Amino acid sequence: MARCARIVLAVAALAVTALPGAAFAQQAETWPPPGVSFDGDPAAPDISGLWLGSETGVPGAAFAPNRGPMDGSPPTFWAPWPLPYQPAYRRIVEERAAALKQGRALGDMGARCLPFGLPRMLVAKVYPDEIVQTAGQVTFFMYGSMPIVVWTDGRSHPADLKPSYNGHSIGYWVGDTLHVETVGLNDRQTLDHYLNPHSDKLGLQWTVRRVAKDMLHLHVTMEDEKAFTEPVTTTNIWRRKTDPRWQVLDDGSCFENNRTQVDAEGNTDGFTKF
């Protein structure tokens, strides 16, 4: 929230320039400002539909598949790499890496059926997602998570935001690009499938642009002054899926038969019950 307030102040000082980042600050001026639309820019594409993104890989990590999702498309990567962790978070990474060598998955919240949240659900794709674009909001229905709503109706972030797995996202359209800011994330999930941590200071700036008829580019920038020494970015590539085999979205309840529940030490007994 503090960062959002800084953005508002900074942009207010820029008066009524039509910079994309100025959109939230210009409510008292011309609203919406030129070139910005909250209910859908006339030039904006309709991105509703079923999409399968790419999976974030880990360069050089033996335990990482670096293969991408099931459609065979290649993985995408964080930059810079290695992730520019502050010393305290570097120690968490090293502790988890040491546990991995013993087959233990410290910090694996997914095994406890907790939501994957953001940014993981934007960049670590295995299943296709349904995007529904309506007036005032763009909604992402994703496996293993509550829907991610990007409010495009001009609202601000709540003042009393409770940190959560998805945080709170507001956005606006500029031409063919949806600009989104996500704040209010908790620190319980990982950035990706590889147990890379983040803090509760994590904020996301991301854009969604339809670069081709059946392709989206999601450019994600992570700022986390507590965990990182500099911003981290990635561009995830989403491909539209029209084949009927992709269109079966299962309920996929994590609680139906979760045999991989892990204890506080990262151990699972799912393999010893038989």
Partner 1 sequence: MKVRMVIAALAAVAAVPAVAHHSFAMFDTSREVELRNVTVREWQWTSPHTWLFVVAANGDRYTIEGGNPGLMRRQGFTKGSMAPGMRVTVYIAPLRNGQKGGAINAVILPSGQMLGERKH
Q: Is 254 in the site for partner 1 (CB under 8 A)?
A: yes
Give the nearer residue to partner 1 in terms of CB position, either 33 or 117: 117
Judged on CB neighbours under 10 Å (0-12, 13-18, 19+), 39 is middle
DSSP state of 64: -
Give the nearer residue to partner 1 in terms of CB position, either 248 or 264: 248
Give the nearer residue to partner 1 in terms of CB position, either 65 or 147: 65
- The CA-to-CA distance between both ends of the chain, in Å, stands at 49
Task: Output the smallest distance, CB 192 to partner 1, in A.
Answer: 10
Residue reference for tokens 């290649």: 74
Collapse the DSSP code of 151 into the 3-class scheme (helix H, G, I; strand E, B; otherwise coil) and give the result.
Answer: strand
Residue from 5, 14, 88, 126 binding partner 1 (CB under 8 A): 126
Q: Is 212 in the site for partner 1 (CB under 8 A)?
A: no
Closest CA to 83 of 256, 199, 183, 185: 199
State both tokens at 258.
Answer: 């979760």
Contact characters 161-200, partner 1, x per CB under 8 A:
--------------------------------xxx-----
CA 18 – CA 202 distance, rounded (Å)? 27
Q: Is 141 in the site for partner 1 (CB under 8 A)?
A: no
Is there a cis peptide before residue 33, judged by omega within 30 degrees of 0? no
Residue from 100, 132, 149, 161 binding partner 1 (CB under 8 A): 100
**2 Cβ partners below 8 Å, 6+ apart?**
none
Segment lying near partner 1 (by CB under 8 A), choices 17-25, 79-87, 205-213, 263-271 = 263-271
Site residues (vs partner 1, CB under 8 A): 62-67, 70, 100-105, 108, 110-111, 113, 126-127, 143-144, 193-195, 245-246, 248-254, 256-260, 262, 268, 270-274
